[in-house]
Amino acid sequence: MKGDWKKYGLGPRNAVVALAAGAMLAVSAAASAGVIKIGASLRMKTETGEKYGQMVVDEFEAINAAGGVNGHTIEVKLLNDECKSDIGVANATKYSYQDNVHLFVGSTCSSVSLPIVDVIHKAGVPMLIPHSTNYKITLKGSPWVFRVPISSRFSAAAAAKFTAENIGTKIAYIWASDAASQADAQKFYEYIETYHGEPPLYAEQFQEGELDLRAHLLKIKALKPEALMISAQSQDFARGLVQSYEVGIGPSVKRIGGSAASNRPAPILSGDAIKGVFFHAAFSYADPEPRVKEFVKMTAERYGVPNPDHDFSQAWDLVQIAKVALERAELTLTDDSLAADRAAIRDALGTVQGYTTLGGGVVDFCADPTPECRDGNKTPVLIEYTKGGEDYEIQVIGKTTFGADFGLAGMAEEAMKLRESLDN
Please write the tens of the pLDDT for every residue from 234-249: 999 999 999 999 999 9
Note the residue count of the chain.
424
Non-local CB neighbours of 5 within 8 Å, separated by 6+ positions = 11, 12, 15
In the predicted structure, residue 264 carries a pLDDT above the cut 90: no
Q: What is the pTM of this model?
A: 0.78
Architecture of domain 153-281+380-412: 3-Layer(aba) Sandwich (3.40)
Query: Which amino acid, residue 408?
Result: L
Mean pLDDT over each residue of the chain, to the nearest integer: 90
Predicted confidence at residue 263, as pLDDT, reads 85
Biggest CA–CA distance in the chain, Å, is 66
Non-local CB neighbours of 400 within 8 Å, separated by 6+ positions = 158, 161, 162, 379, 380, 382
Share above pLDDT 70 across residues of the chain, in percent, rounded to a whole number: 92
Please determine, looking at this structure, whether the domain spanning 5-150+289-377 carries the CATH number 3.40.50.2300: yes
Mean predicted confidence (pLDDT) in 6-12 = 32
33 confidence band (pLDDT: 50, 70, 90): low
262 confidence band (pLDDT: 50, 70, 90): confident
Least confident range from 40-49, 168-177, 180-189, 373-382: namely 180-189
Compute CA distances 181 → 71, 112, 230, 264, 328, whole Å.
42, 13, 9, 17, 36
Domain with CATH 3.40.50.2300 in the chain: 5-150+289-377, 153-281+380-412
